[in-house]
Protein backbone atom coordinates (compact mmCIF):
# COMPACT_ATOMS: atom_id res chain seq x y z
CA UNK A 1 0.00 0.00 0.00
CA UNK A 2 1.36 3.43 -0.92
CA UNK A 3 1.81 6.40 1.39
CA UNK A 4 -0.94 8.21 -0.49
CA UNK A 5 -3.41 5.34 0.03
CA UNK A 6 -2.56 5.23 3.74
CA UNK A 7 -3.02 9.02 3.99
CA UNK A 8 -6.48 8.69 2.41
CA UNK A 9 -7.46 5.97 4.88
CA UNK A 10 -6.21 8.02 7.84
CA UNK A 11 -8.15 11.08 6.68
CA UNK A 12 -11.40 9.21 6.12
CA UNK A 13 -11.39 6.40 8.70
CA UNK A 14 -9.48 7.97 11.61
CA UNK A 15 -10.23 11.68 11.23
CA UNK A 16 -13.67 11.33 9.62
CA UNK A 17 -12.86 13.71 6.76
CA UNK A 18 -14.86 13.43 3.54
CA UNK A 19 -12.73 12.33 0.58
CA UNK A 20 -13.91 12.66 -3.03
CA UNK A 21 -11.85 12.04 -6.14
CA UNK A 22 -8.67 11.84 -4.05
CA UNK A 23 -9.19 15.19 -2.32
CA UNK A 24 -10.49 16.44 1.01
CA UNK A 25 -13.84 18.18 0.70
CA UNK A 26 -14.66 20.88 3.26
CA UNK A 27 -17.36 23.51 2.86
CA UNK A 28 -17.72 22.52 -0.79
CA UNK A 29 -14.03 23.17 -1.48
CA UNK A 30 -11.43 20.56 -2.39
CA UNK A 31 -7.88 20.41 -1.09
CA UNK A 32 -5.07 17.88 -1.12
CA UNK A 33 -4.75 15.20 1.52
CA UNK A 34 -1.98 15.93 4.03
CA UNK A 35 0.98 13.55 4.20
CA UNK A 36 0.04 11.96 7.52
CA UNK A 37 2.30 8.95 6.94
CA UNK A 38 5.39 11.00 5.97
CA UNK A 39 5.18 14.20 8.03
CA UNK A 40 5.46 14.15 11.82
CA UNK A 41 3.58 17.47 11.94
CA UNK A 42 0.62 15.95 10.11
CA UNK A 43 0.85 12.65 12.01
CA UNK A 44 0.72 14.54 15.29
CA UNK A 45 -2.73 15.82 14.30
CA UNK A 46 -3.79 12.17 14.23
CA UNK A 47 -2.37 11.66 17.73
CA UNK A 48 -4.19 14.73 19.03
CA UNK A 49 -7.50 13.55 17.55
CA UNK A 50 -7.23 10.12 19.21
CA UNK A 51 -5.85 11.27 22.56
CA UNK A 52 -9.32 12.18 23.78
CA UNK A 53 -10.19 8.50 24.21
CA UNK A 54 -6.93 6.58 23.71
CA UNK A 55 -3.70 6.64 25.68
CA UNK A 56 -0.72 7.27 23.38
CA UNK A 57 2.75 5.75 23.73
CA UNK A 58 5.76 6.26 21.46
CA UNK A 59 9.17 4.69 21.87
CA UNK A 60 12.15 3.72 19.82
CA UNK A 61 13.66 0.26 19.87
CA UNK A 62 16.01 -2.03 18.01
CA UNK A 63 14.57 -4.76 15.78
CA UNK A 64 15.92 -8.28 15.23
CA UNK A 65 18.24 -6.92 12.50
CA UNK A 66 19.76 -4.40 14.92
CA UNK A 67 18.03 -1.47 13.18
CA UNK A 68 16.20 1.40 14.81
CA UNK A 69 12.39 1.22 14.61
CA UNK A 70 9.60 3.16 16.28
CA UNK A 71 6.81 1.64 18.33
CA UNK A 72 3.43 3.34 18.71
CA UNK A 73 0.54 2.20 20.85
CA UNK A 74 -2.95 3.67 21.20
CA UNK A 75 -4.51 2.03 24.24
CA UNK A 76 -8.25 1.88 24.86
CA UNK A 77 -9.23 1.36 28.49
CA UNK A 78 -12.80 1.56 29.77
CA UNK A 79 -11.94 0.04 33.19
CA UNK A 80 -13.44 -3.28 32.07
CA UNK A 81 -11.37 -3.81 28.93
CA UNK A 82 -7.88 -2.86 27.81
CA UNK A 83 -7.08 -3.05 24.12
CA UNK A 84 -3.71 -2.14 22.61
CA UNK A 85 -3.45 -0.99 19.00
CA UNK A 86 0.25 -1.29 18.20
CA UNK A 87 2.48 -0.69 15.18
CA UNK A 88 6.18 -0.64 14.36
CA UNK A 89 7.86 1.26 11.54
CA UNK A 90 11.17 2.83 10.63
CA UNK A 91 9.27 6.16 10.51
CA UNK A 92 7.48 7.74 13.48
CA UNK A 93 4.77 9.19 11.21
CA UNK A 94 4.08 5.83 9.58
CA UNK A 95 3.97 4.02 12.94
CA UNK A 96 1.42 6.57 14.18
CA UNK A 97 -0.74 6.08 11.07
CA UNK A 98 -0.62 2.28 11.19
CA UNK A 99 -1.53 2.15 14.91
CA UNK A 100 -4.27 4.76 14.42
CA UNK A 101 -5.79 2.75 11.58
CA UNK A 102 -5.74 -0.40 13.72
CA UNK A 103 -7.57 1.53 16.46
CA UNK A 104 -10.50 2.08 14.08
CA UNK A 105 -10.50 -1.48 12.71
CA UNK A 106 -8.36 -1.05 9.59
CA UNK A 107 -5.52 -3.57 9.42
CA UNK A 108 -2.80 -3.05 6.83
User: What's the whole-model pTM score?
Assistant: 0.92
What CATH number did the domain enclosing 44 receive? 3.30.2120.10
What's the CA angle centered on 8, arms 10 and 58, to 5 degrees? 30
Task: Identify the sign of the CA torsion 74, 76, 81, 85.
Answer: negative
pLDDT along the chain (108 residues), means of 10: 95 93 84 95 96 93 94 92 94 98 95
Residue 108 belongs to a domain = no
Q: Which domain holds residue 23?
A: 3-103
Residue 76 belongs to a domain = yes
DSSP designation for 88: E
Residue 58 belongs to a domain = yes
**Structural domain tally of the chain?**
1
Longest dimension (CA), the chain: 49
Q: Residue 55 in 3-state DSSP? A: strand
Amino acid sequence: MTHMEIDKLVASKVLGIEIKYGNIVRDGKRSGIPSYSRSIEQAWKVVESLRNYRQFTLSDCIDENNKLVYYVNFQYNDTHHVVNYEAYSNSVAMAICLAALKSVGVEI
